[in-house]
């Protein structure tokens, strides 16, 4: 079980086939609230608290489950300090997250974090298709969802307030990183933005230690197609490719 801190209010947990086999859980079982599934979720939250100080008790959270294959899944947990003032930060999340707020559990009480997880899993582990969709529509929807999940998993964006921090991160990770990297500077906030693209999910899993080091020097930013396009159109391109490698030699 690999947990990555995205920012102070958000973590990403990767559950692999090995994690599930170790606990004798099938991926499909997670959606039915077994004791094993509950124990796994509680262990995940305890580990996040121990590693990153991510405390989510007594405050609303949103959970999104993103199946990556038939035997692995990503769980994104987001703390919401002001649920009534949600902004566009969450507009790119899947329906499972958007529908979590405002739902109620038994007796009309707000959904617990574990109930949110179960609801998200039930939706996202299903085909995600409307009952009346035709076969070509279903295939297209599946392909679109798979493409989005792959994009979110294989891309990362980090911001740096100083070039010194960026160079330090690059010196420690440049020789180890496998993938493409581009560097931008936003003229409005003067921050540097490092955009990483890894070729496949296996590479992402092997790069967790590299991403962890980079996150110690920079701030992990939300990523989306629109955010990538904004970087290319509105920010100065400092280095269009191999940014980590070039900076590691500075």
* DSSP assignment of 63-110: EEEEEEETTEEEEEEEE-S-GGG--GGGTTS-HHHHTTTT-B-GGGPB
Number of domain units in the chain: 2
Same domain, 59 and 114: yes
Same domain, 26 and 94: yes
Residue 18 has pLDDT above 60, yes or no: yes
> Which of 110, 126, 142 represents a domain boundary (last residue)?
126
Of residues 184 and 90, more confidence is placed in: 184
Q: Would you state the pLDDT for residue 224?
A: 78
Same domain, 113 and 59: yes
> Which of 90, 111, 126 represents a domain boundary (last residue)?
126
> Which of 126, 142, 175 represents a domain boundary (last residue)?
126
Same domain, 68 and 163: no
- Domain residues for the domain of 106 are 2-126
Q: Give the model's confidence band at 185: pLDDT under 50 very low, under 70 low, under 90 confident, else very high.
A: very high
Same domain, 33 and 91: yes
Q: What is the percent of the chain where pLDDT is above 70?
A: 68
Residue 249 to residue 181: CA distance in whole angstroms: 15
Q: Give the model's confidence band at 178: pLDDT under 50 very low, under 70 low, under 90 confident, else very high.
A: very high
Instruction: Judge whether 202 lies within some domain.
Output: yes
Going by DSSP bridges, is the β-strand pair 61-69/2-7 parallel, antiparallel, or unpaired? unpaired
Same domain, 116 and 19: yes
Instruction: Judge whether 142 lies within some domain.
Output: no
Q: Would you state the pLDDT for residue 99?
A: 40
Instruction: Judge whether 137 lies within some domain.
Output: no
The per-residue pLDDT of the chain, averaged, comes to: 75
Going by DSSP bridges, is the β-strand pair 72-79/10-15 parallel, antiparallel, or unpaired? antiparallel
Residue 244 has pLDDT above 60, yes or no: yes
Q: Would you state the pLDDT for residue 243?
A: 94
Instruction: Judge whether 34 lies within some domain.
Output: yes
Residue 214 to residue 158: CA distance in whole angstroms: 8
Residue 133 has pLDDT above 50, yes or no: no
- What CATH number does residue 212 fall under? 3.30.70.1950
Q: Would you state the pLDDT for residue 156?
A: 92
* Residues 80-128 pLDDT 10s: 765 554 443 444 333 333 343 334 444 444 555 555 555 555 554 444 4
Same domain, 195 and 113: no
Same domain, 7 and 120: yes
Instruction: Judge whether 145 lies within some domain.
Output: no
Q: Give the model's confidence band at 5: pLDDT under 50 very low, under 70 low, under 90 confident, else very high.
A: confident
Q: Give the model's confidence band at 158: pLDDT under 50 very low, under 70 low, under 90 confident, else very high.
A: very high
Residue 47 has pLDDT above 80, yes or no: yes
Q: Give the model's confidence band at 131: pLDDT under 50 very low, under 70 low, under 90 confident, else very high.
A: very low
């Amino acid at each position: 079980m690999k947990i990555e801190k995205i920012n102070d209010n958000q973590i990403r947990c990767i559950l692999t086939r090995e994690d599930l086999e170790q606990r004798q859980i099938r991926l499909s079982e997670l959606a039915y609230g077994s004791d094993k599934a509950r124990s796994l979720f509680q262990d995940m939250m305890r580990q996040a608290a121990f590693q990153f100080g991510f405390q989510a008790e007594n405050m609303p959270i949103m959970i999104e489950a993103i199946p990556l294959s038939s035997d692995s899944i990503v769980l994104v947990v987001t703390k919401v300090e002001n649920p009534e003032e949600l902004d566009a930060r969450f507009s790119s999340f899947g329906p499972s997250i958007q529908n979590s707020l405002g739902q109620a559990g038994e007796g009309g009480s707000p959904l617990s974090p574990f109930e949110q997880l179960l609801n998200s899993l039930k939706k996202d582990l299903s085909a995600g298709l409307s009952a009346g969709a035709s076969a070509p529509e279903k295939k297209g929807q599946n392909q679109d969802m798979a493409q989005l999940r792959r994009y979110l998993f294989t891309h990362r964006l980090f911001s740096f307030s100083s070039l010194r921090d960026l160079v330090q991160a690059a010196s420690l990770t440049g020789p180890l990183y496998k993938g493409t990297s581009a560097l931008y500077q936003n003229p409005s906030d003067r921050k540097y933005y490092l955009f990483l693209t890894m070729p496949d999910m296996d590479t992402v899993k092997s790069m967790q230690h590299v991403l962890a080091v980079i996150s110690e020097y920079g701030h992990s930013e939300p990523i989306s197609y629109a955010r990538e396009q904004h970087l290319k159109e509105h920010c100065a391109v400092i280095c269009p490719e191999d940014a980590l490698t070039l900076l590691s030699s500075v």
